[in-house]
């Protein structure tokens, strides 16, 4: 967080690839992050969300991670730390078919085109005014950070075990049915459905 604000001018290089490249996720790791393919950064993000959700951080040293049964299968150890975690993650991340990569990279590249004209990356994370139904679901008064809404939704889905890995879909409980108006939704379409509840950016 501080790195971006302090040295944004210094960090002009890098790009859509690297850690932002979408990779395939092993079945073991899929049970934790709930996706079949994600970028490394997203995987790490989801993993930390999972760790917090299940209180798997060592109280004495929050960089250390105590593995539950699922993480033990993934990492093959009872405990690890945030640095080793990235190393162990590499075993569960494999590059997607090269044919698929250009389009994805292109998409991100297009989004970051003309970087000299774009002030900072933080401007891509505005607050959005959400529908009453979503505001009620999230427990907010009407506005919410765009990314946090999706994150909260995933946290809720995982907490209530609403994922169906077999069909890569999400089973809607009463709250989600009220929000989305259907009994199940494809995991890949979650962000699109969520976007329907965004009224305007602030």
Positions that interact with DNA (CB under 7 A): 1-8, 10-21, 40-41, 44-45, 48, 57, 61-63, 82-84, 86-87, 90, 95, 101, 105, 109, 121
Min dist. Cβ of residue 50 to DNA (A): 11
Min dist. Cβ of residue 52 to DNA (A): 7
Nearer to DNA, 62 or 196 (CB): 62
Candidates 159, 130, 166, 146; CA nearest to 55 is 159
Nearer to DNA, 126 or 165 (CB): 126
Nearer to DNA, 115 or 174 (CB): 115
Min dist. Cβ of residue 90 to DNA (A): 4
Nearer to DNA, 40 or 72 (CB): 40
In DSSP terms, 185 is beta-bridged to 170
Total residues belonging to the chain: 202
Nearer to DNA, 88 or 140 (CB): 88
């Amino acid at each position: 967080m501080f790195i971006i604000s302090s040295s944004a001018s210094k960090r002009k290089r890098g790009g859509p690839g690297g850690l932002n490249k979408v990779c395939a996720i092993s079945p073991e790791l899929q049970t934790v992050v709930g996706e079949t393919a994600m970028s490394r950064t997203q995987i790490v993000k989801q993993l930390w969300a999972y760790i917090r959700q299940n209180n798997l951080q060592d109280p004495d040293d929050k960089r250390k991670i105590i593995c539950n049964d699922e993480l033990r299968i993934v990492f093959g150890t009872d405990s690890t730390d945030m640095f080793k975690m990235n190393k162990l993650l590499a075993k569960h991340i494999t590059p997607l078919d090269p044919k698929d990569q250009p389009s994805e990279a292109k998409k991100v590249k297009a989004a970051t085109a003309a970087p000299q004209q774009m002030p900072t990356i933080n401007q891509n994370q505005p607050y959005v005014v959400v529908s009453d139904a979503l505001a009620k679901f999230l427990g907010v008064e009407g506005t919410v950070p765009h990314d946090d809404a999706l994150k909260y939704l995933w946290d809720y889905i995982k907490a209530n075990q609403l994922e169906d890995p077999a069909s890569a879909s999400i089973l809607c409980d009463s709250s989600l049915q009220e929000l989305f108006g259907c009994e199940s939704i494809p995991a890949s379409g979650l962000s699109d459905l969520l976007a329907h509840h965004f009224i305007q950016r602030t």
